A = this chain, B = another copy of it.
């Protein structure tokens, strides 16, 4: 095995170890270099061969999480083509992601309002990408007036992320309730945005 391959493998081990150590009780900021290194199977100081900082690791994790989000949106689109109900399908897809990758979602949630400004910016950027893609979709595929699409998309993402956050701590059937509630909220929003053109300002 080549040296570059080995290095990449260790790098992944570090990233995976970090994701694995995140939990409901442990955010990224309370991860320690030593623990991550231990779980990755390397000596503490070897960590520095791959990342200058824990911060650099963290930003890498956020990047990966953002990537997953965007893949999610495309997956939802495929499902919509076969299913029809846009809002319901999207939310259900999202909920599956949250439940199945809770560590990833929690990372975004926490660092969005965390103590590190660079982290906050990184998360904000990922979510903004997500919003922009959704806005595009709304413009093309729904009755939403073009100039409202972005604002509507942001509101929708806000509500859905919040629902996801609630779902993290919830039992499966409470999760269903949350899904229901969120669907209602998004429909109100879509309805309002579609039928409110007459009053664009103040």
Residues of chain A at the chain B interface (Cβ within 8 Å):
24-27, 29-30, 106, 109-110, 112-117, 120, 151-152, 154-155, 158-159, 162, 165, 169, 181, 184-185, 187-193, 195-196, 199
> What's the Cα separation between A113 and B105 when bound, in Å?
11
Q: CB distance B115 to A25 under 8 Å? A: yes
Chain B proximity of A187: nearest CB distance (Å): 7
* Further pairs besides A152-B185, A155-B159, A162-B162: 18, Cβ < 8 Å: A24-B117, A29-B29, A109-B113, A110-B113, A110-B114, A110-B115, A112-B113, A112-B165, A151-B181, A154-B181, A155-B185, A158-B159, A187-B199, A188-B188, A188-B196, A189-B189, A191-B192, A191-B195
Q: CB distance B169 to A120 under 8 Å? A: yes
Q: Given the known A-B contacts A110-B114, A113-B109, A169-B120, are A188 and B25 also in contact in the complex, defined by CB atoms under 8 Å?
A: no
> What's the Cα separation between A112 and B165 when bound, in Å?
9
What residues of chain B lie closer than 8 Å to A191, measured between beta carbons?
Answer: 188, 191-192, 195-196
What residues of chain B lie closer than 8 Å to A165, measured between beta carbons?
Answer: 112-113
What residues of chain B lie closer than 8 Å to A25, measured between beta carbons?
Answer: 115-117
Chain B proximity of A29: nearest CB distance (Å): 7
Q: CB distance B115 to A30 under 8 Å? A: yes
Q: CB distance A189 to B195 under 8 Å? A: no
Chain B proximity of A109: nearest CB distance (Å): 5
> What's the Cα separation between A188 and B196 when bound, in Å?
7
> What's the Cα separation between A187 and B158 when bound, in Å?
16
Chain B proximity of A104: nearest CB distance (Å): 14
> What's the Cα separation between A64 and B116 when bound, in Å?
25
Q: CB distance A158 to B151 under 8 Å? A: no
Q: Given the known A-B contacts A158-B159, A159-B158, are A152 and B113 also in contact in the complex, defined by CB atoms under 8 Å?
A: no
Q: CB distance A162 to B158 under 8 Å? A: yes
> What's the Cα separation between A92 and B29 when bound, in Å?
33
